[in-house]
Structure 1
Amino acid sequence: MQDSTEAFLQQAVRHAVDTNAPLKIVGGNSKSFLGRESGGLLLSTLEHQGIVNYHPSELIITARTGTLLADIEQTLAEQGQMLAFEPPHFSDKATLGGAVACGLSGPRRPFTGSARDFVLGCKLINGKAEVVSFGGEVMKNVAGYDVSRLMAGAMGTLGVLLEVSLKVLPLPVLELTTCFELNPSDTISKMTMLAAQSLPVSGLSYNGRILYVRLSGAEKAVKAAIGKIGGDAAMADRRFWKYLNEQRLDFFQGDTNLWRIVVPPATAELDLSGVWLYDWGGGQRWLKSEEPPRRVFSVAENAQGHAVLFKGKDRSGDVFQPLNGKLQELNRNIKQAFDPAGIFNPNRMYRDW
């Protein structure tokens, strides 16, 4: 039998399709700053809550998308498990749907996987007001495209997410952090060296002066790794990783444009002015800068990466790395297939869709 909130959401989408009225889809609204401004009638999934299935022994959880992330994480922690991609909250109203739609992953991402990697299946309302399901509670989906993973990072432009199934992982027995005081020119090589070794690394972040190295896993392995790499554990603030992920560090304060630049981890320092913070072992770089967007996008592209204006004073222009050629065509075709009338979060990612 269809859940009452699911029926309401489907009816709202059907009405929007019939009247050609765009919808602005939100959950807890904790990441409303991300992306371009989107117009349309507000459609909230926040009331669509609840864990549908949870199989601790199979490392799988399925929940409705309005379910609070905090509730999911508490349920998992009670069974000694976690969302290994460490989705940031930014608010106590953060939901599962928002975490998947924004596709953000925390410091553990290079070592365990991204949000997209943990999505096993989903249920959604498409642009024809149909309730459809993709994937499932399985480890592999080999029938054509892994459609459910397209939802990770789609910013709600492909449909109204109703349920998501995720793979989860056991909590580490022990987690320790050690620190190294380094100059920027030595940091990239140090992080590359640490990531290449057989160490239980679960975080590599550099704030411009100190390299933080987090190790997670079995007690014996973590202590052995600390003994091998050294560093100064006394310099480590136990709140650092939480504050980094939730952007509570001093670095993230202020009204300067905040850029998120993703490049191959070993990439040399980028020729952009501003203040930097490195995460993901150098693969994710935060930049506070007033450089023109066109220049930031160009530098990121030349470094075989991409940039996002994560928090900006002007969100009317390009926020995500501009698409060209076949990539642009592919994205347009996917959008057209899921949302032929263009009613879902129009212009949230790009100007014309």
Structure 2
Amino acid sequence: MIGRTFDSIGLDLNCGAYLGKYTEGAVKAGLVNESAIDRAISNNFATLMRLGFFDGDPSKQHYGKLGPKDVCTPTNQELAREAARQGIVLLKNSQGSLPLSPTAIKSLAVIGSNANTTLTMIGNYEGQQQLLVTEIASISKGPVILVIMSRGGMDVQFAKDIDKITSILWVGYPGEAGGAAIMDVIFGYYNPSGRLPMSWYPQSYTKNIQMTNMNMRPNPFTGYPGRTYRFYTGPTIYTFGHGLSYTAFNHHLVQATKLVSIPLANNHVCHSSNCKSIDVVDEQSCRNLNFNIHLRVRNTGKISGGQTVFLFLSPPKVHNSP
């Protein structure tokens, strides 16, 4: 069985009066300066100008005569399908329940309020379906595959803990070929290799962080936990970079530089009392500091697939850098 759940943030190009209403409210509440809005609008119109939106009849412009015949080509359709496949992240796959065998599977139910829709593939504002997924898992005779379409992370600890939900896929908003891409992964025609671009936090995280506070670093005096995997050290549902595969990979570090020293220029301006900061706009500070890393990655499983390798940088502890 396949259940789908959605978060409350999506892509909706027709916002109606929403933007103006809540922007005005934010200004009156002192949450945002009007000058910041003016700057954002100016940047928006500058982009529209560069794209030729004010250059007369659009049909007479360079791209004005493009239509479905130019977009819906077999090559472009396959590109959409491949992009969707690469973006799918396998979060959970207990007991190797995926991929399903297309010859052995006898019955499959696709359940959910958006089980037969294409609009949601692009983005929506549908609502947190936890009750539905939980009830399906409680009565299902077979394993449940949970397919999550969402812009970002959400608290899915309940699904992570339910044994009957053997697999969880996060597909984002996979676009026009998303349905085919999901099928490719579920039935093993494509080995998932996507990784989470952000950490997924528990619901309690929202109680300690305000939507209007964009600070990255935590504040121990206010209890603010900080944002992103670089600063937040609290509990997570799934961490940044998480993503499973149908095969296994072996990594072997062949060669790497252990320490990179960045000297300060003679005319460097200190930004702290102990003068350990560096000016990142000073090109002289980073010149000739290239170094090589040799890493051998081998697929040790029985299914072909891709592997994304992460490289993390640990700078000196200057200004509590992560």
| Fold shared per TM-score above 0.5 | no
Query: What's the TM-score once normalised by structure 2's chain length?
Result: 0.25
Q: TM-score, normalised by structure 1?
A: 0.23
Structure with the higher strand share, 1 or 2: 1
